[in-house]
Amino acid sequence: QDQGYVHLDGGLASPDGRCRSFDARAAGTIFGSGVGVVVLKRLEDALEAGDVIRAVILGSAINNDGSVKVSYTAPSVEGQALAIANAQAVAGVDPRTIQYVEAHGTATSLGDPIEVTALTKVFREGTEERGFCALGSVKSNLGHLDAAAGVAGLIKTTLALEHREIPPSLHYETPNPAIDFEASPFFVNARLTPWPAGHEGPRRAGVSSFGVGGTNAHAVLEEAPQRPAGDPEERGQVLVLSAASAEALEGRIGDLASHLSAHPELDAADVAWTLQTGRTVLGHRASAVLDRGEDPAVLTEAARWSRAVDDDAPRDRPVAFLFSGQGSQHLFMAQGLYQGEGVFREALDEVLAALAPHLDRDLAGLLFPAEGERAAARELLYRTRYTQPALFAVEHALAQLWQSWGVSPAAVLGHSIGQYAAAVTAGVFDLADAARLVAVRGRLMDELPAGSMVAVPLAEEELLRRLPPELDLAAVNEAERCVVAGPTPAVEAFVESLRADRIAARALHTSHAFHSAMMEPILEAFTAEVAKVPLRAPELPMVSDSTGTWATPAELTDPAYWARHLRR
């Protein structure tokens, strides 16, 4: 700031360009200019989204006592105390658990004593302890930022909670004689101080900001909750390197270890992402895991690295995407990717939004349930009406993530419900239409009578010779691994007959007899639903999981194909 100011005796401005909050020499503040921005989000939403949380605002309060102050510029003990007490009440905290207060701290002869008096009045409602809570003011660093003064204090306190250190309040040497610190809960923190954990819980702080017209605001902050174990910043990072020769690769390993040791401020997750996505892949390759907080010097150990040579491998090998079917679902499916990969998170959020109008429950709450809701979520996730949308959502997001990494499919195929994610990837459906069909498909199936499915280790021909007429061959997964479906009593009787011949069948975790005659009552209704959707010829080759051969454009654009796919 290039301009100065004129000091007037008895005014608000400091006579020497120093803001000495709570000091005996305090004679006024200095004025600066600034802007502060914070991003606010409900805690449960931020946790669910895997956002970086720097602090939690437990509660806040605001009032105005301008009509009862003795003068325009004079602060009021009662007004300030009421705002602070209300904020603590909203936050539901005991003042004994607050270890730091970011004070308004204008360093005026009248303002500082009144502020400490108001704070003491509130804290004395909960404790008689002395000298346990640090005081400071960012005005000693930046000056008074006018309308941005409050957010500056909020940002400072947030960073202090995040780094677990209390910054010094500058220019403080001798206590203001008008403030009885020894009889109060407070002391002025004049040096950078480690912030130990609270005796009765997490670190907590208060932030005050008072306006000259009588507006009093106070907020109670708490350190961010511990990140879940799957959070990318809490787990190890995979570092990958490649070079044109073995000698060059060893040199790159040494260079990386030296660089990371010399720059401890680098985020290992950022380094890992850059190495994985921003480097040309050469023939001699190595990878290692660096755990959080681990000394990068360990990367010089040869045993830390896995090595591979791919010098002569063709660079244009085609890749196919295979999307799995029902039975692979589980709680917290892909949660690590949702927390750590922005592309995956955006894609999953998009498909969940497309599914939401067609479901009666929040699918995200079933995939990533809260602590006390896991048993109920697990039960619901195995209901077909939710299983199929959940798998479709995760599989679509995976495809988007792989393609963002430069892995593009030369062909796609899906197993049962997985065929819908394959079809979206191939361009047969758009996302919104596929989401509606998947939700309708799951609901129609869920409304059918229950049935059972079992995996049988027999070849198709042998199995068909043994199969009773009330059961169906639902899938041929391998040369000698098939799936049988039908009414539960008939399936159980068939399993017993196999057991008598020492053939071990394995029950599948499904609620219905998919791809069997038990699906026939819904074929007409589902065909009509598919007929409402524009179907396009695939942009990629697509395998029909009904026949095991390439699906033709005529098949994939025929609503009857998708109904037969449900039955066969």
Q: What is the 3-state secondary structure (H, E, C) of 65-128?
A: CCCCCCCCCCCCHHHHHHHHHHHHHHHCCCHHHCCEEECCCCCCCCHHHHHHHHHHHHHCCCCC
In the prediction, which pLDDT does 115 show? 95
In the prediction, which pLDDT does 402 show? 94
Closest of 501, 454, 503, 509 to residue 482, by C-alpha: 454
pLDDT at 200 over 80: no
Amino acid in position 241: L
Residue 495: both structure tokens together: 């399993």
CATH number for the domain harbouring residue 169? 3.40.47.10
Would you say residue 108 lies in a domain?
yes
Q: Do 219 and 252 lie in a common domain?
A: no
Which band of pLDDT confidence, cut at 50, 70 and 90, is reported for residue 45?
confident
Cα(236)–Cα(336) distance, integer angstroms: 12
Summarize the confidence of residues 83-97 as an average pLDDT.
94
pLDDT at 148 over 90: yes
451 or 302: whose pLDDT is higher? 451
In the prediction, which pLDDT does 235 show? 63
pLDDT at 204 over 50: yes
Residue 118: both structure tokens together: 């108001």
Summarize the confidence of residues 243-250 as an average pLDDT.
91
CB 511 within 8 A of CB 446: yes
CB 202 within 8 A of CB 223: yes
pLDDT at 377 over 70: yes
Q: Do 216 and 241 lie in a common domain?
A: no
In the prediction, which pLDDT does 397 show? 97
Would you say residue 482 lies in a domain?
no
Give the whole-number percent of the chain exceeding pLDDT 70: 96
The secondary structure of 134-192 as a DSSP string is EEE-THHHH-B-GGGHHHHHHHHHHHHHHHTEEPPPTT--SB-TTS-GGGSSEEE--S-
pLDDT at 199 over 80: no
Strand ranges, E, within 407-500: 411-414, 452-456, 472-478, 481-486
Would you say residue 315 lies in a domain?
no
In the prediction, which pLDDT does 212 show? 87
Q: What is the DSSP letter of 24?
A: T
- CA angle 335/387/450 to nearest 5° reads 150
Residue ranges making up the domain that contains 273? 237-309
Long-range contacts of 341-345 (CB under 8 A, 24+ apart): 341/401, 343/400, 343/401, 343/404, 344/397, 344/398, 344/400, 344/401, 345/49, 345/50
Would you say residue 459 lies in a domain?
no
Closest of 215, 247, 206 to residue 90, by C-alpha: 206
Would you say residue 113 lies in a domain?
yes
In the prediction, which pLDDT does 51 show? 81
CB 419 within 8 A of CB 545: yes
In the prediction, which pLDDT does 71 show? 75
Contacts of 246 (CB under 8 A, 6+ apart): 284, 309
CA dist 1 to 38, 106, 143, Å? 23, 19, 11
Cα(210)–Cα(220) distance, integer angstroms: 15
Q: What are phi and psi of 379, to 5 degrees?
A: -65, -45
Q: Do 195 and 260 lie in a common domain?
A: no
Q: Do 327 and 293 lie in a common domain?
A: no
CA dihedral for 62, 63, 66, 70, sign (positive or negative): negative
Overall domain count for the chain: 3
301: number of Cβ within 10 Å: 11
CB 136 within 8 A of CB 169: yes
Cα(299)–Cα(280) distance, integer angstroms: 21
Q: Do 432 and 366 lie in a common domain?
A: yes
Which band of pLDDT confidence, cut at 50, 70 and 90, is reported for residue 13?
confident
pLDDT at 322 over 50: yes
Summarize the confidence of residues 493-500 as an average pLDDT.
92
CB 71 within 8 A of CB 170: no
pLDDT digits (tens, 9 = 90+) for 384-407: 999 999 999 999 999 999 999 889
Would you say residue 104 lies in a domain?
yes
Q: Do 340 and 280 lie in a common domain?
A: no
In the prediction, which pLDDT does 226 show? 76
Cα(551)–Cα(413) distance, integer angstroms: 10
Instruction: From 163, 190, 223, give the residue that closes a domain.
Output: 223
pLDDT digits (tens, 9 = 90+) for 154-177: 999 999 999 999 999 999 999 999
Q: Do 82 and 167 lie in a common domain?
A: yes
Whole-model pTM above 0.85? Answer: no
Q: Do 305 and 324 lie in a common domain?
A: no
Cα(79)–Cα(65) distance, integer angstroms: 6
At 59, is the secondary structure helix, strand, or coil?
strand
Q: Do 245 and 175 lie in a common domain?
A: no
Which band of pLDDT confidence, cut at 50, 70 and 90, is reported for residue 357?
very high
CATH number for the domain harbouring residue 286? 3.30.70.3290
Cα(388)–Cα(330) distance, integer angstroms: 12
Residue 266: both structure tokens together: 């680098």
In the prediction, which pLDDT does 560 show? 93
Q: Do 264 and 396 lie in a common domain?
A: no
CB 65 within 8 A of CB 214: yes
Which band of pLDDT confidence, cut at 50, 70 and 90, is reported for residue 73?
confident
Which band of pLDDT confidence, cut at 50, 70 and 90, is reported for residue 432?
very high
Q: Do 361 and 301 lie in a common domain?
A: no
Instruction: From 223, 246, 276, give the residue that closes a domain.
Output: 223
Task: Return the residue matching tokens 């619901």.
Answer: 380
Which band of pLDDT confidence, cut at 50, 70 and 90, is reported for residue 278?
confident
Which band of pLDDT confidence, cut at 50, 70 and 90, is reported for residue 232?
very low
Would you say residue 497 lies in a domain?
no
In the prediction, which pLDDT does 523 show? 94
Ramachandran region, residue 327 (left: φ > 0; alpha: ψ -120 to 50; beta: rest): left
pLDDT at 146 over 70: yes
Residue 522: both structure tokens together: 């819904």
Which band of pLDDT confidence, cut at 50, 70 and 90, is reported for residue 218?
very high
Half-sphere exposure of 36 (CA within 13 A, CB side): 20
pLDDT at 62 over 90: yes
The secondary structure of 263-324 as a DSSP string is -TTS-HHHHHHHHHHSS---SEEEEEEE-TT--GGGGGSGGG-EEEE-TTS-TT---EEEE-
Q: Do 272 and 417 lie in a common domain?
A: no
CB 234 within 8 A of CB 340: no
In the prediction, which pLDDT does 280 show? 86
Cα(102)–Cα(80) distance, integer angstroms: 14
CB 179 within 8 A of CB 22: yes
Would you say residue 539 lies in a domain?
yes
pLDDT at 443 over 60: yes
In the prediction, which pLDDT does 314 show? 57
Summarize the confidence of residues 77-87 as an average pLDDT.
95
The region of weakest confidence among 66-70, 367-371, 391-395 is: 66-70
In the prediction, which pLDDT does 1 show? 47
Closest of 439, 425, 418, 426 to residue 529, by C-alpha: 439
Instruction: From 252, 283, 309, give the residue that closes a domain.
Output: 309
Q: What is the mean pLDDT of the chain?
A: 90
Cα(140)–Cα(14) distance, integer angstroms: 11
